[in-house]
Amino acid sequence: MGDVINLRLARKRAARAADAEVAERNRARHGIAKPEREMARREAERAERLLDAARRDPSAKHSRETDDPTAP
């Protein structure tokens, strides 16, 4: 005769293994290391500073001050 197993525990064990595989694939696909995130953030801040420094009108940051096209 074979070994007696608890089917509920076997199903849970199989479900955990399947979930672990999905999690591993998601980490590989979506995971970004913290140093890479920090580097991207610093690069974005640097680009924004360079863009702001090259503006002709330093008082106008990202958008027009008024929505009125006839305003001086």
Q: Which residues of 28-42 are buried (b: 16+ CB within 10 A; e: fewer)?
A: eeeeeeeeeeeeeee
How much is the pLDDT for 68?
Answer: 58
HSE value, Cβ hemisphere, 13 Å, CA-based, for 41: 7
**What does the pLDDT read at residue 70?**
66
Output the pLDDT for position 29.
84
pLDDT of the residue at 57: 79
Residue pair 41/32 in contact (Cβ under 8 Å)? The answer is no
What does the pLDDT read at residue 30?
84
The contacts of residue 61 (CB under 8 Å, 6+ apart) are: 52
Q: Which residue ranges of the chain lie beneath pLDDT 50?
A: none
Burial class (CB in 10 A: 0-12, 13-18, 19+), 16: exposed
Position 32 scores a pLDDT of 85
